[in-house]
A and B are shown apart, each in its own frame.
Chain A
Amino acid sequence: MSGQNEHKTMTLKLIVWRQNGKNGPGRFETYTAREITEHHSFLEMLDVVNEDLIKEGKEPIIFDHDCREGICGVCSQVINGVPHGGQERTTVCQLHMRKFKDGDTIYIEPWRARAFPILKDLMVDRSALDTIIQAGGYTSAHTGGAPDANAIPIPKPDAEYSMDAAECIGCGACVAACPNGAAMLFTGAKVAQLAVLPQGKVEAKERARAMIKAMQECGFGNCTNHYECQAACPKGIHVKFIARLNREYIRALIG
C-alpha cells in the first residue's frame, strides 16, 4: 500500500503505424500507455493500450502474437528502429518494460520489405518465408516406421552446427533489418541445417538452387553483406550460414 516499487507505474508515449489494409495509406498515430509496470511485457503493454482503445470505442492496434514465449516467431515489430527492439536474443514478446523509462517515446513500426506486405497496422504477411521452405526446406523420405534414433551416426560438431541453424524461428526480423530486404539469413539457416546432415546431403544441390530461386521470386533483395540481419536476429543466427548457402550454391553450380 505504501510507496512500494511494484506500484510504480510508467506513462509512455507510443507512436504507432496504423494502416487499414494492404493498400490503404498508413500513418503514425500517437497514443499514451498508462499504468505500465516494469513487469509488463511489451505485448502486454500494447494489450493495456488496446483495452483503453476498445473502451473508447476505437479500433485496437493489430499486431501478430502467439506463443509469447519466444519460440513461435510470430511477433514482429520494429521498436525504435530495431526489429524486436534491439535487446540481444530477445523477441518482442520477451521484451520487458523494465527496459524502458517513465516518459519514454517509443516508435512502433511493422516489418518493412517488399516481400512482406502489410496486412493491417503492425501485422505483415510473411508467407513468402513459407514459400521458400516449400521450395526445398525438407528432406524427402519414405513413410513407414520411425527409424531408430541412432541408426545414422552424426558427428557431434555437425549435430551442433545443424542445431545452431535450426534455432531460427522464422520471424523475419532479418528481412526487416536488412537494408536490401533480403532473406539470406533465414534461407541460409534453413539450407545449412539440412546440408550438414546425412539425410539432407542427398538433395543438397537441388535444395540450395530451389530455395534461392523461390527467395528471388518472392521479391526479396540481394545480400550485400551488411550483417545487419545477424545483429537483429532474436536467435543469434550467424551469417556464417549465409556463407554456407553461398558455398552450397557454388557447389551446385560446378556439379
Chain B
Amino acid sequence: MEILTNTVGRKVLMAVTGLFMLFFVIVHLLGNSTIFVGPSALNTYAEKLHSLGPLVWAFRAFMLAMLGVHVLFGVLLTLENWAANPGKYAVNRKLKANFSSETMIWTGALLFAFLVYHLLQFTLRVTPDIIPEAVAKRPGDVYAMVVGSFRHTAISLIYVGAMVVLFLHLKHGIQSFFQSLGWSNDRTLPRFETIGNVLSALFLLGYSAIPILILVGFLTR
C-alpha cells in the first residue's frame, strides 16, 4: 500500500488518527465534566457507558488501533527526520518553529506514558491509591474513586502536568492536522492556528479543573 510508505500518505494517516483521538479528548472532557454536576451525575454517566458492553470494547479496540497507527508513524517520521538533518548549525536561529512544534515526539511519548498510567488507575484500578476493598464494595462509585485519588497532591500534579503536555501537543497538532490534509491556505492557516490555540487551552483548563478543584477542597461529598 503506497499510503503506508509515502511521506504525505503517512502524514494523512497521522492526521486522521490524531483527529479521532482529538474527538475522544473532546467527548471525554464533556463526560468528565458531569463531575461538576455532582456525584450521581458522574456515576450515572459511568454506569451508562459500562452498560453498553461490547460496544465499549469495540470502541476501546478502535481507539487503541488509532493510537497504534499514530505512534508507529510518529516514531518513524521522527527517526527519518533526524537522519535527514544530521548536521546541526553552529548558530541556529528559528524564525517560526517553536517549543510546541519541536517537541512533538517527546510530548507524544509523555502522553503515551500518561495514558498507560491513567488506564491502570481508573480503568483497570490497580494503582496504589485505589483501595481495592472500597472499589469492591461499590464498583459503581466512580466519583468516590476519582475524588479519593485526586486528594493526593502528587497524583493531581501528575494529571495537571499531563494536561500541559497535551496542550503542547495539540497546540501544534491541531493546525498541523488541517495542513496535512491540505485544507489550509494563506487565509485559513492563521485561523486554524487560533482554533488550535483556543481548543488546546480549553482542554488544559477543563481537564485540569477537576484535580485542582478536588485538591483545594471543592468537589467533595
Contact = CB atoms under 8 A, between A and B. Distances in A.
B85 interface: yes
Contact of B172 (A213, A225, A248, A250): A225
A212 B8 contact: yes
Contact of B6 (A182, A219, A225, A249): A249
Nearest to B6: A212
B6 A224 contact: no
A179 B102 CA distance: 8
Interface in B86-102: 86-97, 101-102
A220 interface: yes
Contact of A222 (B80, B94, B182): B80
Interface string B174-201: 0110111111111001000000000000
Interface stretch (A49-57, A137-145, A232-240): A232-240
Contacts of B80: 221-222
B40 interface: no
Contact of B93 (A82, A178, A238): A82
B113 interface: no
A238 B190 CA distance: 12
A78 B86 CA distance: 16
A215 B84 contact: no
Contacts of A11: none
Nearest to A245: B8
Contacts of B186: 238, 240
Interface centre among B176, B183, B185 (most CB of A within 10 A): B185
Nearest to B173: A225
B182 A247 contact: yes
Contacts of A15: 90
Given A212-B8, A224-B104, A225-B180, A115 B77 contact: no
Given A114-B85, A224-B176, A226-B101, A177 B95 contact: yes
A115 B84 contact: yes
A228 interface: yes
A31 interface: no
Contact of B86 (A114, A223, A242, A249): A114
A223 B89 contact: no
Interface stretch (B9-17, B21-29, B204-212): B9-17
B91 A107 contact: yes
B176 A225 contact: yes
B133 interface: no
Contacts of A247: 181-183
A224 B76 CA distance: 12
Contact of A225 (B3, B91, B95, B179): B179
A80 interface: yes
B88 A243 contact: no
B123 interface: no
A246 B219 CA distance: 47
Interface in B132-163: none
Given A109-B90, A114-B84, A220-B84, A253 B3 contact: yes
Given A221-B81, A240-B185, 14 more contacts: A109-B90, A114-B86, A179-B81, A179-B102, A216-B6, A224-B81, A225-B101, A225-B172, A228-B97, A231-B96, A240-B189, A246-B181, A250-B12, A250-B182
Interface of A: 15, 17, 28, 78, 80-82, 86, 107, 109, 112-115, 177-182, 209, 212-213, 215-216, 219-228, 230-232, 238-240, 242-250, 253
14 contacts: A15-B90, A81-B89, A112-B89, A113-B87, A114-B86, A181-B84, A212-B8, A221-B81, A222-B77, A226-B102, A239-B184, A240-B184, A247-B183, A250-B12
